[in-house]
Structure 1
Amino acid sequence: MASPPRFRCNNNYCGHLPKRALIGLLAGALAISAEAGSRLQHHMLAADDADTFLPAVHREQDLYLEAFYGETTTRLIVHAQLRDNRLFVIAGDLQEIGLQLPEEDPTGWIALDSLPGLAYRYDVPTQSLVLHAPPSLRQGQHLGYRPPPPVEVRRDHGLLFSYDFYGRHWQGRSNTSLGTSLNWFGDYGSLQISGVSRSGDEDIGYRRLDSYWTYSDPQQLWTWTAGDLISGGHSWSRPVRMAGLQWRRNFGVRPDLITLPVPRFDGSAALPSTVELYVNNILQYDNAVDSGPFVLDALPRIGGAGMATLVVTDALGRTTETSAPLYVDHRRLAPGLSDFSLEAGVLRTDFEGGWNDYGEHPVASASWLQGVTGAFTFEAHAELAEELGVTGIGGVWSPGGRWGLASASLAYSDGQAPGENDKSGHQYSLGYQWIGPVVGFDLQTLRRSRGYRDLADMDTDRTLTERWLNAQDRATVWLQMGRGSFGYSYLRRRDHRAPFLPREFFSTHSLSWTQNIGRRLSVSAALFKDDENGSGGSLTFSVPLQHLAYLSVGVQRRSDGNNEPRALLRRTAPYDGGWGWWLQGGDIDGDYGQAAVETRGRYMEARAGLDWDRDEHGYFLEAGGSVAVMDRQLIASRRIHDAFALVYTGVEDIPILSENRLYGHTDDKGYLLIPDLRGWQRNRIGIDPDQLAANFLVNELEQFAIPADHAGQFVVFPVAQMQPAIITLLDQSGRAVDAGSGATLYQENSSRAVPVGFDGEVYLEDISGGARIEVRQRERVCNYTISPIAEPATVFTRLRLSPQDCMEAP
């Protein structure tokens, strides 16, 4: 006879119970309990002779138990086994309910009494497992921000043409310019060509600006570019225009990814609790947490210094608060995150002069950023060209993650410029920034020796008239004052010219003040003093009006001591479409003024106006828009700056929603172009069912469009226009058939039963394809034929039909 299991009982519950009492308890309740505690050094066997009385209990039992932590359910079921007085649970189930285990096979069995510090109880009537685990055994609950998975971008094929036109007539002369860009996009990225045409005083015909191919990968967070490009760099290096190949990190393809260090808050809850995070006394995060340790990663929506307070309120209403200072900036990278830019090619020179000149010798550039810790980010930069090499390192550091942001860099160049004696040089920069809730300041300094050169200098002729930066100091201070602010800025610079010319520092001081008075009035004032341009100031009063209009009146004092009054009254054109206008006037050595109107429509944006200055008069015209080619359609739109969607329903005048707002209705072919989508993001597009008539069938009311940047996506909503009908069926005598009669609908090679209502009425969703109804009534079968109506006068069609033929029911 098999021996029954021996039962483990905690000393606090069982003690040394007599055998008779224990046997009576087991026979009366048929309960099996097991509990282990860290305080037990051994386990007392409560029933040595249980096999005599319980011969039917097997040595091993499979159990499926609901897991609890104390009185709180995990809402999970664990697979357990009872073996020889010991309770075993699958390791994967223990990990799923939040226990921290050593490296174990998820399919293996773990004895609960082998986990130090774990107390448990198996409750038979409720088939539950109640656990009491110390924090060291609990997995940390991750709250707040988690890096989202990359979006799945759909790359549809298409062509996008954009244009900007400007024309002006002044003093008897007319000038026009037209900027254009042509962009092909598809599976292999996009190919873009842009240029400008001018006529009049600067008649240049057509001049190409940029042409390049680019491809971005949101999975790897990088972008390839071939053609005209701008090199990468840091705040202490200078980017240059090049033609060649570039490989760079592009966090823009993951706008939902937080790249700066996210502050982490650790805590533990003895009971189920609510966790709240306040930053500068503003609630930033609020969520529930189970008992046990937790980790909160939350990005405070501030810039600069702040005070974070973590408030944990348990189920009994007890509250604990923990405060810590922090500093948030966008120059540091999260630990382990890197940013880079590598490019090689030839320099593009004299771009600002409008010439398409390229260098003859190859050049290369490389930049790197690495988030080393949450407080420090490392920077490196290198440039290489014929007879020139540049290397530099730098970094940004937030002491303690709370005391502002310090930055430093050091760069060295080796290479002699034509006409220069120095073969090498150096550059260094230092900076410190502190942004607080009330006061902030920014200090920066940069020094360059005369022999220092980089790629940007290869397009510069250092003559007596050429001025290039040798030293710069900048200090900025700002102060928040109630509903206003005050700022001061100081800039000192030195332009290094020929060695025999004096090296002079030039400085600029500026003061600014803004203040909101009452509910509408805003006042701003500014003063400046410059060693080269003199001094001056301005005072402006602004008042917002109704219907997107505002009024601005002010005066400006120029460096020559003259005062310039000016006024502006403007109504901005609504973003969704409409008209706007402005009137502007003032006095600069005589009266001047301008009057203009603007419109923002579905197909373009335009503005036109008149202006005058003393005795001269003129007029101007501006217009801009885009034309997209997709699905063999040519559709005009307002200016598309990023991404767009072409919606197709196949039916005219269907209301289309963009981010739950009505954008427009489809045209006579069923198309609508939405120009304001965000690349690499989920854009909600749908159909407004509240404005649909009852005769439309829509299988899908909402979709998410995820296009690449500067590309489009084709979004299809199948919409079918039906002909619903209420049909009154008459018998051969002209009376309505009885309600509840058996009727079968034959339509499109299928059949189904339809109910017959009072007055012989039958409702059909669609009769556009015709139908046949067979009705059984009083031992007769009658057939009714329904023909489609070419142009129904109303949404619902009402018909009265007599039977086409009737026969005796078989």
Structure 2
Amino acid sequence: MAFVLVPTAHADDGAASPVQTTYLEVMLNGVTTGAVARFAENGGALSTPIEELGELGLRADPALAGPNGMVPLDRLPGVTYRYEPGMQRVYLNVEDSQRLPAQLGTRGRVRPPVTHGYGFVLNYEAYAQPDTGNELGLYTEQRFFHPGGVFSNTGVSTFYNGNNRYLRLDTSWSHADPTGLQSIQIGDAITGALPWSRPVRIGGIQIRRNFGLRPDLITYPLPALGGSAAVPGAVDLYINNVRQYTGQVPSGPFVINNAPALSGAGQATIVVRDALGRDVSTTVPLYIDSRLLAKGLFDYSFEAGFARTSYGIDSFRYDTAPAASGSVRYGLSDAITLEGHGEASRGVGIAGAGVLFKLPLTGVLNLSTSTSASGGQQLGLGYQWRTPAFSIDVQGTRAFGDYKDLAASTGAPMPSALYRGTVSVPLGRSGNVAASYVNLSDPIYGAARIGSLAWTAQLGRRAAFTASTYRDFAAGSSYGVSLSLTFLIDNATTASSTVGREGGNPTMIGAVSHTVPYEGGWGWQVGGQRGGDMWRGFAQTNLRGRYGEAYAAVQDLQGRVTTAFGASGSLVAMDGTVMAGRRIDQSFALVSTGGVPDLPVLVENRRIGTTDGGGHFLVPNLLPYDANRIEIDALNLPINTRLSSTRLSIAPALQSGAVAAFSIQSFRGGQVVLTDAAGAPLTAGTAVLHVESGDRTVVGYDGLAFFESLRDDNTFRADPEQGPCTARLRYAASSDPLPRLGPIACVGSPP
């Protein structure tokens, strides 16, 4: 490649050398960058636009640029250069402090677009206990979803001895904006709260930040792990001796943007390996706490309406006084998170603030204070530190004076004090000892001061042992001790037994259970319990299928035998059909194969069922706003089938569904044997046109040509060496999806 110097129309000083523009290959610390950059040359001195420096990975202060936006290279700190006009090349020697680090890792994955849908879902859960007066309960949820939002209503119907009643629980319409990370809910909602405040149910409007709309977003601070490589090579990242990332690194500084799988304290080791196999390792300490917000993140929840009272008892009972509530959190830095909370209603006013502060390598300290308009205050203090060898979590809140919040006005009195602490120490590689203490002063339940101690140990690969004891120091006779053994019989069957003492009486519990496969099948559990003068035996069987789940149970309580039956599932109206399926609590997809039945459906490579007679299958429990891979097994399709794709990526909205439509088309195809007028196969490679469809192909060996769009009457035009010819074929029905047709003679000239 040749480079030329282009004189400009001006000179810097009007004296000798004119300023010339040149494009040079850039060598950085002796290694080619593969880039060609624009420079201005004046008497051997070079300058370049500030944006070119950024593309080359160099830091540059905008104040160094002149009026024309050019930065002289000799003004850059930590940078020296050598210009070779004959080679049209510039050699830059740059200190690591002046280079932008290369970004490595997987944190910035592309967010999938939301797959919207329209439909209606009816969830139900029924319960019957015929031995107690024909008692029947039915929970239902009606949910209509569309791209603009979700309308939902829940309630419980009870039928008992002729006393029939329907109780409404929650009714709301919600809209989520994944771009702005914001949700709006109108109707019944639960107010946002902080660890030192209490949520309440409210009827009105709620506007809140919803980080759940971005599954790829990590909200807590993560360390920027990096280093420097003298030459290009490989880099590995180990978190607590477990490799979390491996990749290639260029020369110079780098940062690994890979979220470590860690909570609490640990250490990261970065190993850089050059082309000669030499290793350079660096170890740095880490501390990660998901309660903190990353620097600059803002979390909030604001509500206004009327506080709900008698929830679960009355369908429409709200306080007559309007109420408002708000909670905010802000990441001031990676080490400091600020919090604020406020409430207001008739006779209620709360204003408070809190802070979480990450101490240098020794855990997180949290403080809070709030004041009530009724003349009371609340203080909170806590500390949490987690390491591989030791963990401690101590939290306490104390109310002074007449402290009253919205929850107290709805019938939940404020505890005057709550203190809790937990200390945990691992024993070996498969054991743990934990001690905890809770001190609660409640105006309804009174005082409780409970201390507990537990030891857990893994015995081999199939057994686990737990020993625990507790005592309520506020009630001298309240104590307990237990020993438990759990044994895994196989991947789905577990046996457990517990012996102990509760309040001075011996207790014994034994059970064996078999879990229900997720894709469907049977499960069961049997067990017995004895403590003091009470004994109980029970057995239950569960069935999970494509149309829902059901169970039947029998219990013998000291000679009194009772039975219970239950079922849960859903009805979905979508894509022009109504289907029964399992209960749908979150997001789902409706697989549609255009009427093709009995096709296996797989989710993340796991088979979960087959399409029904109409070519549909309901896939529950998908991750909202995230890519869910849904596939069909094409090996079950007939050979004369055309399929656009066997795999789709579906990202449904929260509490909504999306159609996973697979385009499957059958075609009428066959192998046609073409001969000349003498009956000899046409020469291989001869071009053939199917007139009715316009499809073109070439003749293979033995005169065979394949066509996939045959009609009842077919015309073929070929161009062999002996001259153009025409052949005609009447298609006859066959049990073979791809029959062999002919031979047919190709004769004469086409009309």
TM over 0.5: yes
| Alignment partner of 1:495 is 2:454 | no
| Aligned counterpart, 2:682 | 738
Aligned partners of 1:681 and 1:477: how far apart in 2? 37
| Corresponding letter in the other structure for 2:506 | N
Aligned partners of 2:259 and 2:452: how far apart in 1? 34
| Alignment partner of 1:76 is 2:27 | no
| Aligned counterpart, 1:484 | 431
| Aligned counterpart, 1:542 | 486
| Corresponding letter in the other structure for 1:581 | W
| Aligned counterpart, 1:96 | 55
Any idea what SS the aligned residue of 2:702 has?
helix
How far did residue 177 of structure 1 move?
A: 0.8
How far did residue 315 of structure 1 move?
A: 4.2
| Corresponding letter in the other structure for 1:140 | P
How far did residue 629 of structure 1 move?
A: 1.4
| Corresponding letter in the other structure for 1:580 | G
| Aligned counterpart, 1:155 | 116
Q: Identify if the C-alpha distance between structure 1 residues 798 and 82 changes in structure 2 by more than 3 Å, giving closer, same or farther.
A: farther
Q: Identify if the C-alpha distance between structure 1 residues 60 and 506 changes in structure 2 by more than 3 Å, giving closer, same or farther.
A: closer
| Corresponding letter in the other structure for 1:490 | Y
Partners of 2:687 and 2:719 within 8 A in 1: yes
Aligned partners of 1:154 and 1:134: how far apart in 2? 48
Q: What root-mean-square deviation, in Å, do the aligned CA atoms of Structure 1 and Structure 2 show?
A: 3.2
| Aligned counterpart, 1:464 | none
| Aligned counterpart, 2:421 | 475
| Alignment partner of 1:673 is 2:618 | yes
Aligned partners of 1:508 and 1:765: how far apart in 2? 77
Aligned partners of 2:162 and 2:268: how far apart in 1? 59
| Corresponding letter in the other structure for 1:173 | G
The superposition leaves residues 771-791 of structure 1 with CA deviations (integer Å, 9 ceiling, x where unpaired) of: 32124558565433344555x
Unaligned runs of 5+ in 1: 1-29, 34-47, 49-57, 416-423, 462-466, 498-502
Q: Identify if the C-alpha distance between structure 1 residues 129 and 645 changes in structure 2 by more than 3 Å, giving closer, same or farther.
A: farther
Aligned partners of 1:626 and 1:679: how far apart in 2? 19
How far did residue 336 of structure 1 move?
A: 1.0
| Aligned counterpart, 1:568 | 511
Aligned partners of 1:495 and 1:61: how far apart in 2? 80
Any idea what SS the aligned residue of 1:759 has?
helix
Partners of 1:91 and 1:105 within 8 A in 2: no
Match of 2:538 among 587, 594, 597: 594
Structure 1 range deviating more: 629-638 or 715-724: 715-724
Equivalent positions of 1:220-239 (< 5 A) are 220-239=180-199
Partners of 1:652 and 1:666 within 8 A in 2: yes
| Alignment partner of 1:118 is 2:83 | no
Q: Identify if the C-alpha distance between structure 1 residues 793 and 517 changes in structure 2 by more than 3 Å, giving closer, same or farther.
A: same
| Aligned counterpart, 1:797 | 739
| Aligned counterpart, 1:643 | 587
Aligned partners of 1:357 and 1:350: how far apart in 2? 7
| Aligned counterpart, 2:236 | 276
Q: Identify if the C-alpha distance between structure 1 residues 196 and 527 changes in structure 2 by more than 3 Å, giving closer, same or farther.
A: same
Aligned partners of 1:217 and 1:293: how far apart in 2? 38
Aligned partners of 1:505 and 1:209: how far apart in 2? 32
Aligned partners of 2:52 and 2:295: how far apart in 1? 32
The superposition leaves residues 617-649 of structure 1 with CA deviations (integer Å, 9 ceiling, x where unpaired) of: 122112111222112211221122211112222
Aligned partners of 1:789 and 1:70: how far apart in 2? 75
Aligned partners of 2:575 and 2:229: how far apart in 1? 57
Aligned partners of 1:448 and 1:332: how far apart in 2? 25
Aligned partners of 1:777 and 1:518: how far apart in 2? 76
The superposition leaves residues 399-440 of structure 1 with CA deviations (integer Å, 9 ceiling, x where unpaired) of: 12x21111111111113xxxxxxxx11111111112121221
Q: Identify if the C-alpha distance between structure 1 residues 475 and 99 changes in structure 2 by more than 3 Å, giving closer, same or farther.
A: closer
Aligned partners of 1:717 and 1:151: how far apart in 2? 19
| Aligned counterpart, 1:205 | 165
Structure 1 range deviating more: 736-745 or 538-547: 736-745
Match of 1:169 among 130, 149, 166: 130
How far did residue 355 of structure 1 move?
A: 4.6
Q: Identify if the C-alpha distance between structure 1 residues 331 and 657 changes in structure 2 by more than 3 Å, giving closer, same or farther.
A: same
Match of 2:406 among 455, 470, 486: 455
Unaligned runs of 5+ in 2: 6-15
Q: Identify if the C-alpha distance between structure 1 residues 730 and 85 changes in structure 2 by more than 3 Å, giving closer, same or farther.
A: same
Partners of 2:111 and 2:626 within 8 A in 1: no
| Alignment partner of 1:582 is 2:525 | yes
Any idea what SS the aligned residue of 1:469 has?
coil
Aligned partners of 2:98 and 2:396: how far apart in 1? 52
Q: Identify if the C-alpha distance between structure 1 residues 727 and 139 changes in structure 2 by more than 3 Å, giving closer, same or farther.
A: same
| Corresponding letter in the other structure for 1:426 | Q
TM-score by length of structure 1 reads 0.83
Partners of 1:413 and 1:426 within 8 A in 2: yes
| Corresponding letter in the other structure for 2:81 | A
Aligned partners of 1:540 and 1:516: how far apart in 2? 12
Aligned partners of 2:198 and 2:162: how far apart in 1? 31
Structure 1 range deviating more: 513-522 or 200-209: 200-209
| Alignment partner of 1:704 is 2:649 | yes
Match of 1:134 among 71, 90, 95: 95
Q: Identify if the C-alpha distance between structure 1 residues 427 and 702 changes in structure 2 by more than 3 Å, giving closer, same or farther.
A: same
| Aligned counterpart, 2:455 | 513
Any idea what SS the aligned residue of 2:222 has?
coil
| Aligned counterpart, 2:601 | 656
| Aligned counterpart, 1:620 | 564
| Alignment partner of 1:694 is 2:639 | yes
Any idea what SS the aligned residue of 2:408 has?
helix
| Alignment partner of 1:759 is 2:702 | yes
The superposition leaves residues 728-757 of structure 1 with CA deviations (integer Å, 9 ceiling, x where unpaired) of: 234455x342323744222445252x3223
Aligned partners of 1:610 and 1:426: how far apart in 2? 52
| Aligned counterpart, 1:246 | 206
Equivalent positions of 1:437-448 (< 5 A) are 437-448=388-399
Equivalent positions of 1:359-438 (< 5 A) are 359-400=319-360, 402-415=361-374, 424-438=375-389
Structure 1 range deviating more: 103-112 or 665-674: 103-112
Aligned partners of 1:802 and 1:290: how far apart in 2? 66
How far did residue 537 of structure 1 move?
A: 2.1
Q: Identify if the C-alpha distance between structure 1 residues 801 and 595 changes in structure 2 by more than 3 Å, giving closer, same or farther.
A: same
Aligned partners of 1:454 and 1:282: how far apart in 2? 47
| Aligned counterpart, 2:12 | none
How far did residue 564 of structure 1 move?
A: 2.5
| Corresponding letter in the other structure for 1:481 | L
How far did residue 287 of structure 1 move?
A: 3.0
Partners of 2:23 and 2:38 within 8 A in 1: yes
How far did residue 398 of structure 1 move?
A: 1.4
Aligned partners of 1:259 and 1:777: how far apart in 2? 70
Aligned partners of 2:583 and 2:334: how far apart in 1? 41
| Aligned counterpart, 1:807 | 748
Aligned partners of 1:504 and 1:521: how far apart in 2? 40
| Aligned counterpart, 2:11 | none
| Aligned counterpart, 2:674 | 729
Q: Identify if the C-alpha distance between structure 1 residues 354 and 123 changes in structure 2 by more than 3 Å, giving closer, same or farther.
A: farther
Aligned partners of 1:704 and 1:31: how far apart in 2? 48
Paired residues in the alignment total 732
Q: Identify if the C-alpha distance between structure 1 residues 604 and 788 changes in structure 2 by more than 3 Å, giving closer, same or farther.
A: farther
Aligned partners of 2:646 and 2:39: how far apart in 1? 46
TM-score by length of structure 2 reads 0.90
Any idea what SS the aligned residue of 2:117 has?
coil
| Aligned counterpart, 2:8 | none
| Corresponding letter in the other structure for 2:181 | L
| Corresponding letter in the other structure for 1:142 | Q
Structure 1 range deviating more: 316-325 or 542-551: 316-325
Partners of 1:147 and 1:258 within 8 A in 2: no
Any idea what SS the aligned residue of 2:130 has?
strand
How far did residue 601 of structure 1 move?
A: 1.3
Aligned partners of 1:763 and 1:89: how far apart in 2? 63
Q: Identify if the C-alpha distance between structure 1 residues 387 and 587 changes in structure 2 by more than 3 Å, giving closer, same or farther.
A: closer
| Aligned counterpart, 1:9 | none
Any idea what SS the aligned residue of 1:118 has?
strand
